Structure 1
């Protein structure tokens, strides 16, 4: 009968001691973790406290009105009586409203005329300011001051400057032997006149483009000069690509502003007691929306118009964003 053999190694090895944190280490780590969490909660509370004015303002003055207007767009509401739910009837009526199509067409034409001219004039003035040297600070102030003019005052100024009989613009044109048009009564010249008047407020865009121009690295111009590039070649190969983000921002912002044009045109052509110059050529989309809401008290229909404009702006902005991927150069994407 055999017996189990054991290795001749002497006494059996004792199990190795397991490594572990020294006494008191675990409670200290737990305490540090709790401290980090408390600090995180304090920082979060402080951030929300500082953001609370904006959050409250957004919820009260933006989010809630949008939600409520979406509801009103599905109702027949005249402000006096309670809203009556009618489903999508307001949206169906939009498609057959000839005056709405007229207003939408006027707005589209105005925007297509205004935005390119606005950008070109802003860029030209920014290029001049970039070469102004020490006097640029004074000229920046001069160009920006008209931006502070109330839009209602600009509308009144439009009637004074572009009056077909004795306006200053036609007076200057007459000095050079040019017979000026009837800016305020001729349907063909109403929108161009408003476009020219909108150039009164290019100051903000000029400042943005000037800042972008001064951020272009000088080394790029020096390299272009060494390669024999002239002014125009440098402008198209260096300046425009480097300031393209600022240009894109100005185009998007002014497109949205053009589609919502109201103050100047309403003051000049549809203001209180103004029946002489009222013209369908100046009936822009937001003006027609305002009339439906506050003159005819068709608040439900006006809400549907507002949501239609919102969708149009979103689509146009989305298209601009897609196009910008090919045309706009961002230095961080290199």
Structure 2
């Protein structure tokens, strides 16, 4: 058999699955975003009308969309650096030769990642409850007045960011740990012989060698944080005063609360365009930070 034909034969099952469960839904969603598919069209397909880009134009004129986008950008801008910083710090501690019981701590720090988001979010709702939450008990013991963590528009999003960082940093920690263990130890030995301090070793060896890992983790974390939904859905239901309504939460409301499926599909593709633009920007910035030979600056 021709090797090229055999390769396509082996790839056919995977391509079929991707086509049916990924490509076709994406195409269907794109078509829906160009129509006024709503509850009336769901009852009778003859009520469906082609509206071209009207859904996108209407969304760009809605203050709620820009408000949800602002909340999402705020969540990404604050949450991503905190998550990556916590992940890198934990990985550095676990990679240190002074660390003890490494398997236990790796498991303990990674456990929140594999725990159900809804279950952990419910627990955090009780921890940050205004009346009987443990966080306010601790503040009261310090003589600080209780804070309405999930009921105050100024504190709701920071609380959700804190929860998301705790929930997700273990995944990036494992990736950073693998990157740290791939750095040759000879580089550190040579640096110590030359009298380099721990900070100089981190700055001139660890950080540049982790460049590709940092880029990958950054792209994955930004993409995941732009898809904020489960946390506000369980903890605040988009409130208070819509201060935690994200773009994905708006899409959920449009599609499954008001049954404006055409508008919901348009929200999804606008979010995709934003995420794609941010990813391209991150790739360009990372290339600017490289020398012509490809090594990190």
Alignment of 1:68-87 (within 5 A): 68-78=28-38, 79-82=42-45, 83-87=48-52
Q: Looking at CA atoms only, which structure, 1 or 2, has the larger radius of gyration?
A: 1
Change in Cα spacing, 1:330 to 1:263, as seen in structure 2 (3 Å) is farther
Offset of 1:162 from its aligned partner?
1.3
Partners in 1 of 2:135 and 2:184 — Cα distance? 41
Offset of 1:179 from its aligned partner?
3.4
Q: Counterpart in 2 of 1:251?
A: 218
SS in structure 1 at match of 2:43: coil
Offset of 1:182 from its aligned partner?
1.4
Q: TM-score, normalised by structure 1?
A: 0.81
Among residues 269, 289, 295, which one is paired with 1:307 in the alignment? 269
SS in structure 2 at match of 1:261: coil
Partners in 2 of 1:205 and 1:107 — Cα distance? 20
Q: Counterpart in 2 of 1:324?
A: 286
Change in Cα spacing, 1:120 to 1:330, as seen in structure 2 (3 Å) is farther
Partners in 2 of 1:240 and 1:166 — Cα distance? 43
Partners in 2 of 1:331 and 1:148 — Cα distance? 40
Offset of 1:161 from its aligned partner?
1.4
Change in Cα spacing, 1:123 to 1:173, as seen in structure 2 (3 Å) is farther
Q: Counterpart in 1 of 2:232?
A: 265
Q: Counterpart in 1 of 2:132?
A: 166
Alignment of 1:274-293 (within 5 A): 278-293=240-255
Structure 2 residue 14 is the aligned partner of structure 1 residue 54: yes
Offset of 1:57 from its aligned partner?
2.3
Q: TM-score, normalised by structure 2?
A: 0.90
Offset of 1:105 from its aligned partner?
0.5
User: Does the aligned pair in 2 maintain the 1:75–1:87 contact within 8 Å?
Assistant: yes
Greater Cα offset, 172-181 or 288-297: 172-181
Change in Cα spacing, 1:261 to 1:329, as seen in structure 2 (3 Å) is farther
Among residues 164, 177, 181, which one is paired with 1:214 in the alignment? 181
Change in Cα spacing, 1:270 to 1:142, as seen in structure 2 (3 Å) is same
Partners in 2 of 1:330 and 1:270 — Cα distance? 49
Offset of 1:278 from its aligned partner?
4.7
Q: Counterpart in 2 of 1:115?
A: 80
Alignment of 1:194-213 (within 5 A): 194-198=160-164, 199-213=166-180
Query: Once superposed, what is the RMSD of the aligned Cα atoms?
Result: 2.2
Partners in 1 of 2:61 and 2:141 — Cα distance? 48
SS in structure 2 at match of 1:202: helix
Change in Cα spacing, 1:313 to 1:280, as seen in structure 2 (3 Å) is same
Offset of 1:293 from its aligned partner?
0.5
Offset of 1:210 from its aligned partner?
0.8
Partners in 2 of 1:182 and 1:269 — Cα distance? 12
Structure 2 residue 212 is the aligned partner of structure 1 residue 240: no
Q: What CA deviation, in whole Å up to 9, does each residue of 1:12-70 have, x standing for no partner?
A: xxxxxxxxxxxxxxxxxxxxxxxxxx35157425xx43x44432221112111111111
SS in structure 1 at match of 2:151: coil
Q: Counterpart in 1 of 2:110?
A: 144
* Structure 1 unmatched runs, 5+: 1-37, 272-276
Alignment of 1:183-202 (within 5 A): 183-198=149-164, 199-202=166-169
Q: Counterpart in 2 of 1:44?
A: 7
User: Does the aligned pair in 2 maintain the 1:151–1:263 contact within 8 Å?
Assistant: yes
User: Does the aligned pair in 2 maintain the 1:162–1:168 contact within 8 Å?
Assistant: yes
User: Does the aligned pair in 2 maintain the 1:163–1:183 contact within 8 Å?
Assistant: yes
Partners in 1 of 2:35 and 2:91 — Cα distance? 49
Q: Counterpart in 2 of 1:296?
A: 258
Q: Structure 1 segments of 4 or more deviating over 4 A?
A: 328-334
